[in-house]
């Protein structure tokens, strides 16, 4: 208990020291010292001049009260010097308060202007930000990407999105001209650098999205190399953070898998496969576009949490939950969701629960080959739902359900 108390004391002292250092480095530190000396000095002089000659000044606090009221130009008049020297000091204080008002206005204005300038140039740090999304890299359609994110999630707001990039400031300002994206945060720097990631407080983020940024790279290989470096840096700083990365070339996939990347996107392969599939199955492109469309489609594909009572049960029993629900269709199971590190560590602990060496080796090999976020479509009825699984469903959007219910009521 003593050790815990001492640790808490050290943490409190450290935070107080850091707060004091931040305060002393700010322009308000000198201003605060100036006002303390000014009020204290003027109050002391007037108190010495008036005490014994004026019943309104009986102690030093009366002088402080007079100084605050006079310099703030409120002028209650409850304490006024009666001696000529005291009145002379009061006249100096009255004229001096005019200059102080200008000084205060200028100081506050300069601080806010500097803060806005630093924010526009991407020089701000966000050490207290938490539960946010960090987007590493830049795309030409960045405004559309962020608007889609905001549209799909009710819990994510613009001020919880941080962009890391070395893109021109003009592009960021153009993005922020859109009213819904005005509060998006921007940090200028190499997104694969640990220093830049620390400025975005990556440890407290909810998710990191790494784009294949070709703006700062000579080609797709260099962009993919930076993506791999970014995933490695993020996982080294926060191994449980969910990371989704975009790759142009699939030859880098193994590096991301080894770095415990949670989700990998292959835009080139997706386009190629859709083109190939369209030549065999007519309308396939329309089907896929409709499922992943954010605005035009009345349906969407998503994953939902499986109730705990169905973990370890057969797929056929869980499927019964959707028989009477006409708005949702269960099409599969997404295995091994969540943090790859936690899933694999738990799988290792389960694999070691056997005295048979040969079975232990087999179990550990299965853990090594474990695939994170693996979809299993239309499983067999006797398929057993494992822990860390989610259901893959196709559902009608809420707006579509509302319109249908209104029509039925009419």
Q: What is the 3-class SS of 103-121, one letter each residue? A: HHHHHHHHHHHHHHHHHHC
Residues of the chain with CATH 1.10.287.70: 14-120
218-233 confidence digits (pLDDT tens): 778 888 999 999 999 9
Calculate the average pLDDT of the chain.
80
Confidence of residue 403 (pLDDT cuts 50, 70, 90): very low
CATH code of the region 14-120: 1.10.287.70
Residues of the chain with CATH 3.40.50.720: 133-265
| 370 contacts 346 by C-beta, under 8 angstroms | no
Q: What is the pLDDT of residue 244?
A: 92
Distance CA 340, CA 337 (A): 8
- Does the structure show a pLDDT above 60 at 405? no
- Does the structure show a pLDDT above 70 at 4? no
Confidence of residue 404 (pLDDT cuts 50, 70, 90): very low
Q: What is the pLDDT of residue 407?
A: 42
283-319 confidence digits (pLDDT tens): 777 777 777 765 556 777 888 999 999 999 999 999 9
Distance CA 80, CA 87 (A): 8
Listed in sequence order, the DSSP H helices in 26-168 are 27-50, 60-71, 84-120, 142-152
Number of neighbouring beta carbons within 10 Å of residue 324? 6
pTM: 0.65
- Does the structure show a pLDDT above 60 at 235? yes
The larger pLDDT score, comparing residue 17 to residue 198, is at 198
Distance CA 336, CA 371 (A): 7
The larger pLDDT score, comparing residue 332 to residue 343, is at 332
Distance CA 222, CA 227 (A): 9
Distance CA 153, CA 207 (A): 13
Average pLDDT for 360-374? 71
DSSP 378: S
Superfamily of domain 133-265: NAD(P)-binding Rossmann-like Domain (3.40.50.720)
The larger pLDDT score, comparing residue 181 to residue 371, is at 181
Chain centroid, CA 40 distance in Å:
45
| 385 contacts 317 by C-beta, under 8 angstroms | no
């Amino acid at each position: 208990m003593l050790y815990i108390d001492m640790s808490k004391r050290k943490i409190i002292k450290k935070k107080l020291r850091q707060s004091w250092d931040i305060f002393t480095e700010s322009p308000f530190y000198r201003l605060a010292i100036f006002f303390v000396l000014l009020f204290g000095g003027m109050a002391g002089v007037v108190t010495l001049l008036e005490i014994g000659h004026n019943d309104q000044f009986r102690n030093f606090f009366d002088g402080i009260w007079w100084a605050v009221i006079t310099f703030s130009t409120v002028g209650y008049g409850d304490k006024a010097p009666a001696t000529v020297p005291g009145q002379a000091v009061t006249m100096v204080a009255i004229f001096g308060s005019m200059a102080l008002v200008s000084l205060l206005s200028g100081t506050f204005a300069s601080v806010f202007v500097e803060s806005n300038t630093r924010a526009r140039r991407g020089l701000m740090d966000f050490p207290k930000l938490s539960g946010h999304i960090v987007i590493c890299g830049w795309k030409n359609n960045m405004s559309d990407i962020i608007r889609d994110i905001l549209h799909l999630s009710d819990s994510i707001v613009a001020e919880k999105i941080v962009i890391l990039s070395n893109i021109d400031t003009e592009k960021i300002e153009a993005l922020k001209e859109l009213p819904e994206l005005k509060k998006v945060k921007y940090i200028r720097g190499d997104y694969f650098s640990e220093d830049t990631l620390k400025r975005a407080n990556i440890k407290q983020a909810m998710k990191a999205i790494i784009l294949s940024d070709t703006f700062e790279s000579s080609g797709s290989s260099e962009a993919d190399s930076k993506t791999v470096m970014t995933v490695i840096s993020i996982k080294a700083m926060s191994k449980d953070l969910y990371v989704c990365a975009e790759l142009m070339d699939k030859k880098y996939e193994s590096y991301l898998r080894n770095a415990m990347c949670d989700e990998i996107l292959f835009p080139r392969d997706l386009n190629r496969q859709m083109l190939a599939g369209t030549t065999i199955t007519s309308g396939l492109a329309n089907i896929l576009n409709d499922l992943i469309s954010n605005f035009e489609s009345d349906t969407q594909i998503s994953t939902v949490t499986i109730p705990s009572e169905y973990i370890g049960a057969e797929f056929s029993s869980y499927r019964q939950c959707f028989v009477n629900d006409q708005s949702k269709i269960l099409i599969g199971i997404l295995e091994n969701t969540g943090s790859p590190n936690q899933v694999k560590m738990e799988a290792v602990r389960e694999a070691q629960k056997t005295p048979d060496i040969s079975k232990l080796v087999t179990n550990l090999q299965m853990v090594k080959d474990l695939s994170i976020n693996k979809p299993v479509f239309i499983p067999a009825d006797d398929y057993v739902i494992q822990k860390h699984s989610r259901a893959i469903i196709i559902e009608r959007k809420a707006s579509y359900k509302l319109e249908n219910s209104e029509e039925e009521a009419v």
